Structure 1
Amino acid sequence: MVNHKLGRLFSVGFISFCFCLGMSIGIIIRFGQIQRSNAATTPAENLPFPFAIPENQEVPGDTITIKAVGDVIPGTNFPNYRLPKFRDELIPKSVRGYLQGADILFGNFESSLTTYPYSSKDMSQGQIFAFRSPPSYAQLFADVGFDVFNLANNHAMDFGPLGFRDTVKNLNAVGIETLGHKNQILYSQANNIPVAMIGFTTYNMYNSVHDLAAAKALVLEAKNNANIVIVSMQAGAEGTGALHIKDETEFFYGENRGNSMQFARTMIDTGADLVIGHGPHVPRAIEIYKGKLIAYSLGNFLGYKTLSTAAETGYSMILEAKLNSQGDLVGGKIIPVHLDRQGIPRIDQRFRTVGLLRYLNKKAFPENQVKINKKGEIVVMNTK
């Protein structure tokens, strides 16, 4: 059984979206209570892996465990039908076992859970994608144990404001909160520690990584009301050519995708305790900056017949981070995952993502690289 202790969640702020010729809607994020599933999953200690997840050790009461995965697209039925016969196939039981043991389980959801028939995108143009998944798939993610999905990304509005509203409604109906709405701070209790979460991306309809002043104001407000502040950011170029993180503005097909390093470090400087990156569709380096963990990109986690799995786009992970009540990193690990040809995640006993991250860390931060041992465990040292 999933061992979640995520308490009552509150969302702050008014959501506004502009669509097409001035069309707009507003959604008030409701107060909500997460309803946990009793669905059985395979115990982690029985899984075929060189180390048990979670480890057989008592976790101090003043810490929380966050597990996070990258981009999630559970197939699409638009513009053609690319869905599995059974939805449970999308996340195998062997992977679900490693998602257990978190106080907060988080992912970046890049589809729409709606039946709305009209996409907001012009599909006649090349390299334009719109994803729509059945609303019933929300239950799959509740069964797996997800608590929060980020929606501040370039696919959440694939079916416009109505499709977006359906996605929020369908996730909320199964107890999954959504993150990234304009001016929103999502508050929760994890292991009796107050936690705040804020989502950012490169578009002004959401909280934007380009507006540092507004981003800092949100983080300051969150820090005044919670012990731990977690920031999600979708930023950076995409693909295997975007593996390496640099302190510079990135562009993708002419679009300004922000300076991930500048943004993440500024959020830490302002009071954030953990920054989780998405968007490049490949893993990127991780950094411990002033005692706080920055994961610049977790890569793809699920992309059934939608996302490329060639080369490093098939490298994935479950990031585990243990934080104390002050938000400092006290432990963590990289649980390596690899996507098969259909885009379904599998636990990777070859540890390819661990090897890739060790290489990327050395290239990005040669003087202060995060140490990851061969088991994927993050070696935490005092970097303050």
Structure 2
Amino acid sequence: MRGKVMLAATLAGVLAASACSSGEDVSEAAGDTTPPVPTKSAAPVEEPPAKEPVILAFGGDVHFEGQLRARLNSPKTALGPISSTLRKADLAMVNLETAITTGGTPAGKQFTFRAPPTAFTALKAAGVDVVSMANNHGMDYMETGLADSLKAIKKTGFPTVGIGRDAKAAYAPYRTTVKGNKIAILGATQVLDDHLIPAWTATDTKGGLASAKEVPRMIQAVKQARKGSDLVIVHLHWGEELNPCPLPRQKELARQLVDAGADAVVGGHAHIPLGGGYLDDSYIHYGMGNFVFYSASGQTANSGVLLLKAEEGKITKAVWKPARISGGLPLRLKGASAKAELKRWQGLRDCAGLEPRKGSS
């Protein structure tokens, strides 16, 4: 009897082991009909969005002085008809050449520009997605104007580069993802009045503007922006007023920034358009000219929109859309006038030392 009991126990153990090894629930083998507790499956891994081609649009210098100030009362039409071109792009950028303040002390210089925070409302309504304030008017109302500008940027949340409470913030890129493309945008100025350089340049302990005169810091900023980015764009205020050709220091800096990882370098200051084209696989535009500018006339009324197509981390196409400023606003040229101005602009590429690319203007 004792041997039968032992045999029965041994057989039960074998059956249980067999059930476990075959994946069968032990309780079911024993006659328990209680359903097993389902196991928690792992959440599906989300695939990153596919990278689609993106269109980037750039306009030149913008402020809201003179007759342009009243246009802020109607933000949706403040930039005029050119807004339709900006809105069609996946990302649009301009140079905001003014302090955003209603107070402060004007800097000791011939021209000082300022605008109320509603300037950001107007820019957003016009289709502008990001601006640079690193230019020779970004701190026209000195430290109080800087504080007001930073307050307005924070309050509105409008993406602004080239300015900050310290150097770390001023040289930091604006990062965004557009159609699956991770884009980093930096802003800096190579143009500052000599007597204002110490007061206006951001340092580790003082607010101000990002200075492209600080070349090692600029190169480091581009290298940092390169990490984790598909596209790196550098917006610079540089050049010489009314000079249609880039200065040697512009060409030197362009080469250094491209070598550091910039895919596009776009800028202005000369108040007239300069040439644009390819440097290796990167696109350089040395001067966008005026864009929304109250005093534009004669050659300084020549303007335009630069459209860049980016695919797989490269600028594959560039198109210059000529415009002419009238009443402070840029109006797209059409027909024969557009063709003539485009041909003139293409001629500026020679002294810029840049190359055209098939499919680009």
Looking at structure 2, the residues matched to 187 and 169 of structure 1 have their Cα atoms a distance apart, in angstroms, of 20
Give how far 1:320 is off: 0.7
Q: Helix, strand or coil for the counterpart of 2:225?
A: helix
Higher helix share: 2
In the alignment, does 2:286 pair up with 1:266?
Answer: no
- Paired residue for 2:138? 156
Give the letter for the 1:177 counterpart.
P
Letter in 1 for 2:93: F
1:362 positional shift: 3.2
Question: CA 1:285–1:82 in structure 2 vs 1: closer, same or farther (change >3 Å)?
Answer: closer
2:323 is aligned with 1:337: yes
* Residue 244 in structure 1 maps to residue 231 in structure 2: no
Structure 1 residue 179 displacement after superposition: 0.4
**Residue 177 of structure 2 aligns to a residue in which SS?**
strand
User: For 1:218-367, what aligned pairs fall within 5 Å after superposition?
Assistant: 218-239=221-242, 242-246=243-247, 248=248, 259-304=249-294, 307-311=295-299, 313-326=300-313, 328-340=314-326, 342-349=327-334, 350-351=337-338, 353-365=341-353
Q: 2:220 aligns with which of 205, 217, 228?
A: 217
What TM-score do you get using the length of structure 1 for normalisation? Answer: 0.69
State the shift of 1:191 in Å.
1.4
Query: Counterpart in 2 of 1:253?
Result: none
**Compared CA separation, residues 142 and 299, structure 1 to 2 (3 A):** same
Cα separation, partners in 2 of 1:131 and 1:271, compared to 1, 3 Å: same
Shift of residue 156 of structure 1?
A: 0.9
Give me the CA root mean square deviation.
2.3
Letter matched to residue 333 of structure 2: D
Residue 84 of structure 1: aligned partner: 70
Identity of aligned residues (%): 23
Letter in 2 for 1:137: A
Aligned residues of 1:317 and 1:353 also touching (Cα < 8 A): no
Instruction: Decide whether aligned partners of structure 1 residues 260 and 174 sit closer, same or farther in structure 2, where only a CA change above 3 A counts.
Output: same
Question: What is the aligned length?
Answer: 286
Give the match's secondary structure for 1:83: helix
Q: Could you tell me how far 1:87 is from its partner in structure 2?
A: 4.4
CA distance in 1, matches of 2:355, 2:211: 28
Question: Highest Rg: 1 or 2?
Answer: 2
CA distance in 1: counterparts of 2:52 and 2:68, whole angstroms: 44
Superposition map of 1:39-188 within 5 A: 61-76=51-66, 83-84=69-70, 86-88=73-75, 90-92=78-80, 94-119=81-106, 121-122=107-108, 128-181=110-163, 182=167, 183-188=171-176
Counterparts of 2:331 and 2:139, CA distance in 1: 29
Instruction: Give how far 1:177 is off.
Output: 0.8
Contact 2:104-2:142 at 8 Å conserved across structures:
no
Deviation at 1:336, TM superposition (A): 1.3
- In 1, distance between residues paired with 2:152 and 2:100? 7
Q: Output the amino acid matched with 2:355.
A: Q
- Report the Cα offset of residue 64 of structure 1: 2.0
Give the structure-2-normalised TM-score: 0.73
1:199 maps to 2:187? yes
- For residues 193 and 364 of structure 1, do their structure 2 counterparts lie closer, same or farther at Cα, with a shift above 3 Å needed? closer
Structure 1: which 5+ residue stretches go unaligned?
1-59, 249-258, 380-384
Q: 1:82: how far off?
A: 6.7
Q: How far is the alpha carbon of 1:297 from its aligned partner?
A: 0.7
Structure 1 residue 154 displacement after superposition: 0.7
State the partner residue of 2:14: none
- With over 3 angstroms needed to count, the CA separation of the structure-2 counterparts of 1:105 and 1:82, relative to structure 1, is closer
